[in-house]
Amino acid sequence: MADVTTSGEALLFLTDEQLRKGIEAMFFAYRGFTADPDRILADLEYGRAHHRALHFINRSQGTTVNNLLAVLGVTKQSLNRVLRTLIADGLVESRVGRKDRRERHLYLTARGAELERQLSEAQRARMRAAYRAAGPQAVAGFRQVLEAMMDETMRAQYHALKDGKS
């Protein structure tokens, strides 16, 4: 007989205690996921906002400032502060749009790409080890849970990035 705490049917009727444990696991997993990049960023006096900007600029070289605003879900003021620093430090380049000169397209410089690689490699190594330990079914289930936690707009943005449309 299947363990009632791990069978699929039991998961449909989670207790508050089981949900609390899941929430706490997410908090601690996020701490672990961000710990390595945080150490690298601290040496440069950058924060997680800088990391997120570098990640998504790298993911979509030439993305516009407005698109990055939508993906990150931050205020224009907050993003401008981060971008000013990254541009001044030679990690990001802002180019005027060819079709619309009001648009600014963002690209990582060689230095920016190297920093993004260091930050992401630390996270990829942690995820790779966790995925290997959990196995393919758990990985697929984990992705399903993460997508189910996103609201519709976030899920659409995620799928657009995943499908290379952004």
CATH classification at residue 115: 1.10.10.10
Residues 27 and 42: their CA atoms lie apart, in Å, by 20
71 and 100 co-located in one domain: yes
Structure confidence by residue, pLDDT tens digits, 12-53: 778 899 899 999 999 999 999 999 999 999 999 999 999 999
Cβ neighbours, 10 Å, residue 108? 21
Q: Are 86 and 112 in contact (CB under 8 A)?
A: yes
Q: Which domain holds residue 160?
A: 135-166
87 and 142 co-located in one domain: no
Q: Are 96 and 107 in contact (CB under 8 A)?
A: no
Q: Are 97 and 64 in contact (CB under 8 A)?
A: yes
Q: Is residue 5 part of a domain?
A: no
The predicted structure's pLDDT at residue 2:
42
Residue 43's φ and ψ, nearest 5 degrees, are: -60, -25
Domain count, the chain: 2
pTM: 0.83
